[in-house]
Amino acid sequence: MVERNVVSWNAMIGTFAHNGFNNHALESFRFMIDEGWRVNSTTISSLLPVLVELVKFSKGREGHGFFLRTGLECDVFVVNALIDMYAKSERSAEASAVFYNLGSRKVVSWNTMVANFAQNRLELEAIGLVREMQSSGETPTSVTLTNVLPACARIGCLRSGKEIHARSIRNGSVTDLFVSNAITDMYAKCGCLNLAQNVFDMSLRDEVSYNILIVGYSQTSHFSMSLELFSEMVLNGMKHDSVSFVGVLSACATILAIIQGKEIHAFAVRRMFHEHLFVTNSLFDLYTKCGRIDLSRNVFDRIENRDVASWNTMILGYGMLGDLHTAVDMFEAMGEDGVEHDSVSYIAVLSACSHGGLVDKGKKYFNDMLARNIEPSQMHYACMVDLLGRSGLMDEAINLITGLPFKLDSNVWAALLGACRLHGNVDLGSWAAEHLLKLQPHHPGYYGLLSNMYTEAGRWGEADRIRELMKLRGVQKTPGCSCVQIQDKVHAFIVGQRLEGLDPCLSLENTG
């Protein structure tokens, strides 16, 4: 080009940036400055995302100083680009400084800042900023709400979520599909499925709306609703995606509904989702929990790209079903396949070693984990206490516990109590139970474990005292829940409840 101007330079920088040629965009900017052209807000808003992508945060700060000298720091496009740059560089303090130095804040600046806080896991700051936005006279838009509502969901801030929901009703933004989905998701993740269902019933719906509830119900005692909604999607002409299948398979795994799980598996094959990694991992979980590790292995052997979750699910499955040596072999094969073991992998193999009495292997794997700089969690230590305790190495288990520099959680103390019951070490078990019941005073299983230990040792008075303590604290055993599958329908009921008159969870006859 014979004659260049600011527009042509901006077009070239923007084109490079838009197509991912970030180094070319940065080089063009340097040439533009060298030729003496004055940059404008368009130049800056194109360049700052490039600096973030190139991880050139120091260059971004230099650019910020440059903009101050050129007087562009008050331009709304430049300010928003700066806030976005600092946010993506996880520099929320600098982003806040830019935001609060802006004299007249437009709604887009508020939204950029709310998104900055939300994306950097500063949920309380995001919620507080929305309140400040409203106090300043600005009305939150659908963009504001779709950023702040997930923040409420992540920290379980139901009260703030309800406040935002109420305001969205007053300003009419609740009719926006993205907003209603965000509200539904917030209620579901806060455990208020009844409120989530109410919003769902009164709003426009798409596949995302259904998926939110399918996944939400699969994680509660109302798991049968996941299957019902999965079927309803077809009736309403909507297509399932991987999230739909993961949610409904999780529900089937919870109620051990293997027949319907197989039907959904076949449906996934017809819809070409059977090779999706998240779906296959859910199939592993379903078949393993239903005791059909052979079916899990069939699915596992047919997929080419197995991730760490695929391997972990199989290792856990073999361990859970008592095939402990195969679990250990799978752990070894995982490394040979080039998939790095993670924290969960070590929990799975340590648990298998514990139940199989493989003390030396368990110690080796634990030391390997430390050598790989994977920080042990409380669950890893619980597995090690269980490994040592089950094998009668109580002194080593105690030395491990007393040598830890942090407060132990209930998993570690429960592992020790279980080992004490196994070997009849009542005094040590009483010590473990004292710590355990302080941490979990309303967990019925721990009272049962302690009572059984006393009963097996012939200390009937102590066993009676534990049962009386349960009554005093209002601790009740969790009632058993059973599911009966009759033809293509699943019925769920608890102890003492009759099957007649219960509503079936789902018929899959319409999903084909």
CA distance 349 to 30: 55
Number of CB atoms found within 10 A of residue 83's CB = 25
In a domain, 411, yes or no: yes
* Collapsed DSSP state (helix, strand, coil) of residue 150: helix
Q: What percent of the chain has pLDDT over 90?
A: 49
In a domain, 365, yes or no: no
In a domain, 233, yes or no: no
What pLDDT does residue 83 have? 78
* Of residues 19 and 160, more confidently modeled: 160
In a domain, 494, yes or no: no
Least confident residue range of 12-16, 114-118, 191-195:
12-16
pTM here?
0.75
Chain segment 180-219, per-residue pLDDT in tens: 999 999 999 999 999 999 999 998 899 999 999 999 999 8
Chain segment 415-431, per-residue pLDDT in tens: 999 999 999 899 998 99
In a domain, 467, yes or no: yes
Residue range 336-348: mean pLDDT, rounded: 95
Count how many domains the chain has.
Answer: 1
In a domain, 215, yes or no: no
Q: What distance, in Å, lies between the first and last C-alpha atoms of the chain?
A: 61
In a domain, 29, yes or no: no
* Collapsed DSSP state (helix, strand, coil) of residue 342: coil
Q: Which domain holds residue 451?
A: 377-478
Here the contacts of 92-98 (C-beta below 8 Å, separation 24 or greater) are 92/116, 92/117, 92/120, 92/122, 92/125, 98/64, 98/73
Residue 495 pLDDT exceeds 90: no
Chain segment 350-399, per-residue pLDDT in tens: 999 999 999 999 999 999 999 999 999 999 999 999 999 999 999 999 99
* Of residues 23 and 245, more confidently modeled: 245
**At which residue do the structure tokens 């102590």 appear?**
462
In a domain, 437, yes or no: yes
Q: What is the CATH classification number for the domain harbouring 386? A: 1.25.40
